[in-house]
Amino acid sequence: MKRLTVNTFALQSLKKRKKQYAALIAGIILAMVFSSGTLFLLSSLFAGIDDLTDQAFGKETAVFYGLTEETLADGQARFHIEYAAKGEILGYLMTEEEDRGVSVAKLTPEARELTYTVVTDGDYPQNAGEIAIEEDALIRMGLNARPGDMIELTLQVQDDADYLSKTVQKSYLLTGILKDRRVNVENMRASKSPFPAAFVSETETIEPGGKALSVVYTVFSRGNSPIASSYQFYDDFCKEHGLNDQKTESVFITRDSFSLSGIGKLRQSGVLAAVLAAVFTVVSCVGIVNAFSSDLLDRKKQIGMLRALGATKSQIMRIFGREALLIALCSAPFSLLLSYFGTRLAVRLIGNGMRFLPDYGVLFGGVGVSLLCVMAASFIPLAKTARISPMQAVRDVDKTRVLRRKKLHSQKQFSVPKLIAKREAAFSPASQILVCVILAVSVSLSALGISYIAEAYDEASPYDSDYRIYRMGWEADPFVNLDVSSRGFGLTDNDLQTLTLFPYTDGIRKEQDAQAVWITEAPSDYLTMLDAGRVSFELNGDTPTFTGETWRQLLTENDGNKKDFLSAFSYKDVFSVRFSARDEDAVRQLEPFVSEGKIDLAKLNAGEEILLAAPDSVSLEARLETFPDGMRYVDFIADTGVYSLMDRERFEMFPLGTAERSCHAGDKVRVALICNDLHDSEGTPVDKRYTDCRVYEKEVTIGAILSIPPGGIWSRGDMTGITQLNFISTHAGKRAFGIENRYFQLDLKLNTPCTDEIDEQITRLISPMISGTSFNCDSQYRDAQEDRQMLAAIFTGLMSVVLLFFTVAGSMICTSLTADIRANRRGLGTLRAVGASVRELTKTYLYRLLLPFGVGVPAGAALAAAVWLAIYKFAGEKIPPLLWPTALLTLALFGVCCLNLYVRLRQLTKTSIVENIREL
């Protein structure tokens, strides 16, 4: 005779209850996939995003040129620099046709690894005479070459500090095309550094007479705190060693905005992963506990019988615990496979070059933890069930206890379905509350998350145009940068013509700017304070201390540029103003920001009126910064409430006062546009400061005052106002001043949806216009692709969490109702026997279904509204709510629960009343 052991009992039980266990195993697989699988998915997505960021920017945090061994050694010894790898810049490569080129370097294997150079086509050079070039650099140099082609280039040889005057003609075998890095780094942080974009093998030597410029790629420390920015260490290192001056350039790579955001910091620190893991585990455990509880409720009588036959508590625990282990072990391989292939599919769907970088530790570790969770979760209902006495199991005394505690009273008139549903809810308040809480969290998480991501999708296309070409950086001091006609200052009419003739161009919106001053005889505090931000000075022997009392005098004394300007033009006082000229339709779009007066295009075009964008008030502060070498600088901060300007901790601050806007619509103002468009015989601008400046002066009326909203962004990035005053007019209005200059911003709109091919064509068209300048080109197509990728990853993560919550809520509702129907067959049979129709039975369960939805969904909506209001109140962020996906999810969940109910009740009513009544 076969011996009956705990294992054989558990196996027999599993075999006999295949159907019930199939549902339980499916639930557990889902819970495991959602907990371990979601973590695996998130870890893979984050790894993929990190990989993309590394490909775009490299793994380094800063790049130094000409850094001495001693300085590097000091940085490493003091743990500022965690890791460094070296390369050498051999020169500057150009073609004969184009004077724009890129630096060429050779890297050590360590530097190649750190810079994460990715070869998209061909191979990295191995021998002398071979070269690999970044894709954008090829376009920049006007080269249409593929790997295997010989290319002829002109090399300006490096001589450490600069380039040798002679050039060398070089012939290289192009072995590979590299993924862009230079353009990404420079777009992010405009720099005149020789960031290399062409690479030769290590065996390459520098041309005779030259001296290679060292390039050191470094990873800066984050200190003891994993979330601290490495910028602090970089900044300290640079200041201590006097870097960033004329002799040594450096580039600090911020990598990407995501990594600097709150989420990014949390992710870096592992807090996000830990929190997500904890949430997934807890929620999954709740689902598993519920699944096991329902199963054990169903088997309460069997346990009671076993106890009556003499089984001890520990034997009951062992029998059912072994079943739980077998179930968990059966579920593990399925959840492993589902997690792996699900994640693989998700990464493929996100696409855009994201690689599937699985972390098997997370996958197997997650499944291992899930197994433990299943065991732990099964233990809770098991321990509870094993505690009950045999008679308690047979006679349902729990209900009597609850009844006594709740002091329920007999109803004289009642709806049978409603009363039974209400009573059931009263008998199991904890599980009802739990379901309501999970449902509420699901609803609020879904409503908020989807609304925020939808808004982010909208914001992923910040401009009205498909391409925006714009000058990066703005010289706030109009008394310094007067060279408005230089190539660096703007794009020409020829550039505009080239773009207009592009077959896919639908229209181009253009914007010009000019350095301008507001001439006044009676300077107001408002103008003085707004203009003070240009000035900084060192505290020295003449001015040993700063208390703030003499700020007006110090401001005047130390604004050397303005003093020179005033003496050159005999004005009593002037204040810097930004002047921009726009297309008429762009000016019309400013209508919503008018706070005084009105926009009259005819008067603007005639040069009679002008628009003034000005903050309502300004508060001025002086800040004193003391450097490690003892030098102390004072500068002025004009705060207009538009931006929170800085981290104040490092400075000593002196509040100097506040002034309200002193100008109004209808005021007449004298405005002068100033420029120096003189060039020498070779076309190089001649900087003669003010002596040869042309001044285009005009008296105009302020037609309208435009307010600057918090954040300073007007109409999707069409205008940014920070602390400066902004005069705005039309192009015709600007011409009325008599000045013609270049475009600082062109917005190009395509007449067809953009494709990879069009994007490549337009990149080739625009690249030569902006190469070697501080201009940048934003492709909405590329930006949207990148943003979509990031948002898809975030959305996938969010939806995993939301679905986990919805699934757990649904599983709790369905399993508890299913278990109740199974366990209560006799009660339902009795109801049918005494005259309850199937419709009434269905209504009973529908009421029970409506209870968690009726409480959980409004509670979730209220929670979401509260969080939304809190975010609006404290962060000022007003996100348009997008609720239909959540409503759809909730309806879908309700539908699934109804379907489950229908199937279970149909099963029940298919059997005869007598069979139900006799079920014991």
Partner 1 sequence: MTILECKNLTKEYYSGENVIKAVDNANLTFEQGEFTAITGPSGSGKSTLLHVLSSLENPTSGEVIYNGESLKKYNDNQLSILRRRRFGFVFQAYNLVQELTGMENILLPVMLDKKTPDEAYLEKLVEELGIGDRIGHLPSAMSGGQQQRIAIARALANKPAILFADEPTGNLDGRSGREVLALLKYVSAEFGVTLILVTHDLGVAEQADRVLTLSDGRVVRDTKGAAQ
Which residues are CB-contacts of 659 (< 8 A; sequence separation ≥ 6)?
A: 524, 525, 526, 528, 529, 617, 618, 620
175, with CB counted inside 10 A (0-12, 13-18, 19+), is buried
What gap in Å lies between CA 867 and CA 873, rounded to an integer? 10
What gap in Å lies between CA 427 and CA 416, rounded to an integer? 16
Matching residue, tokens 């450097």: 627
Q: How far is the CB of 809 from partner 1 (least distance, A)?
A: 24
For partner 1, the closer CB: 712 or 827: 827
Largest interatomic CA distance in the chain: 118
- Answer whether 734's CB lies under 8 Å from 450's CB: no
Residue of 15, 18, 19, 412 interacting with partner 1 (CB under 8 A): 412
For partner 1, the closer CB: 623 or 825: 825
Ramachandran class of 116: left when φ > 0, alpha when ψ lies in -120 to 50, beta otherwise? left
Q: How far is the CB of 352 from partner 1 (least distance, A)?
A: 57
Check binding of 912 to partner 1 (CB under 8 A): yes
For partner 1, the closer CB: 16 or 395: 395
What gap in Å lies between CA 163 and CA 394, rounded to an integer? 95
For partner 1, the closer CB: 501 or 920: 920
What gap in Å lies between CA 35 and CA 371, rounded to an integer? 11
Check binding of 884 to partner 1 (CB under 8 A): no
- From residue 638 to residue 667, the character string flagging contacts with partner 1 as x (rule: CB under 8 A) and all else as - is ------------------------------
Q: Tokens for 493?
A: 């009419």
Backbone φ and ψ for 154, nearest 5 degrees, come out as -100, 130
Q: How many CA atoms lie within 13 A of 809 on its CB side?
A: 31
- Answer whether 133's CB lies under 8 Å from 177's CB: yes
For partner 1, the closer CB: 311 or 419: 419
Q: How far is the CB of 818 from partner 1 (least distance, A)?
A: 18
For partner 1, the closer CB: 279 or 305: 305
For partner 1, the closer CB: 126 or 411: 411
DSSP string, 105-116: EEE-HHHHHHHT
Check binding of 409 to partner 1 (CB under 8 A): yes
384-403 binders of partner 1 (CB under 8 A): 395-397, 399-400, 403
Check binding of 405 to partner 1 (CB under 8 A): no
- From residue 414 to residue 433, the character string flagging contacts with partner 1 as x (rule: CB under 8 A) and all else as - is xxx--xx--xx--x------
Q: Which stretch binds partner 1 (CB under 8 A): 59-67, 380-388, 411-419, 723-731?
A: 411-419
Q: How far is the CB of 44 from partner 1 (least distance, A)?
A: 49
- From residue 810 to residue 849, the character string flagging contacts with partner 1 as x (rule: CB under 8 A) and all else as - is --------------x-xx-xxxxxxxxxxxx---------
Q: How far is the CB of 825 from partner 1 (least distance, A)?
A: 12
Q: How far is the CB of 303 from partner 1 (least distance, A)?
A: 18
Q: How far is the CB of 425 from partner 1 (least distance, A)?
A: 10
Q: How far is the CB of 322 from partner 1 (least distance, A)?
A: 31
What gap in Å lies between CA 187 and CA 191, rounded to an integer? 9
Helices and strands, counts by H and E, the chain = 31, 26
What gap in Å lies between CA 481 and CA 451, rounded to an integer? 44
Q: Tokens for 853?
A: 């939805």
Q: How far is the CB of 839 from partner 1 (least distance, A)?
A: 7
710 C-beta neighbours (distance < 10 Å), count:
11
Total residues contacting partner 1 (rule CB under 8 A)?
41
For partner 1, the closer CB: 415 or 707: 415
Q: What is the dihedral of CA 117, 120, 122, 123, to 10 degrees?
A: 20
Query: Per DSSP, what are the bridge partners of residue 708?
Result: none
For partner 1, the closer CB: 409 or 873: 409
Check binding of 906 to partner 1 (CB under 8 A): no
Query: Per DSSP, what are the bridge partners of residue 471?
Result: 775
Q: How far is the CB of 419 from partner 1 (least distance, A)?
A: 7
Query: Per DSSP, what are the bridge partners of residue 131?
Result: 174, 200
Distances (CA, A) of 700 to 18, 309, 344, 527, 583: 88, 103, 64, 18, 19
For partner 1, the closer CB: 615 or 829: 829
- Residues of this chain that bind partner 1 (CB under 8 A): 395-397, 399-400, 403, 408-416, 419-420, 423-424, 427, 824, 826-827, 829-840, 909, 912-914, 917, 920
